[in-house]
Amino acid sequence: MPKAYWIAHVTVTDPDPYALYAKGATEAFEKHGARVLARGGEVVALEGQSSPRNVIIEFESMQAARACYDSPEYQAARNHRIGAGEAQIMLLEGV
């Protein structure tokens, strides 16, 4: 079964509630066996639109990634992110 990758492109507009989101989301990722590959490091935009904060998280499967996103823990954290920035989040199946 191929791994899955949670990819997020984020612009934070209100750091305090976003910090609550980050804490809660990290706990949800840990509970679901995720492995953070990249989070908030230097970004070099080569083509197209860029976001100041980018995240890549690895899951054992698409099912595990969806279970994390749909979990009560992540959804509670997500409530802090809403209104604290703009985010594009997607799941990508690996090869």
DSSP 24-43: HHHHHHHHTT-EEEEES---
What three-state secondary structure class fits 54?
A: strand
For the domain covering 4-93, report its CATH number. 3.30.70.100
pTM, 2 dp: 0.91
User: Which of 28, 11, 5, 33 is CA-nearest to residue 81?
Assistant: 11
Q: Could you report the per-residue pLDDT of 25-78, keeping only the tens digit for each?
A: 999 999 999 999 999 889 999 999 999 999 999 999 999 999 999 999 999 999
Q: Could you report the per-residue pLDDT of 1-26, keeping only the tens digit for each?
A: 899 999 999 999 999 999 999 999 99
The domain ranges of the chain are 4-93
What pLDDT was estimated at residue 40? 83
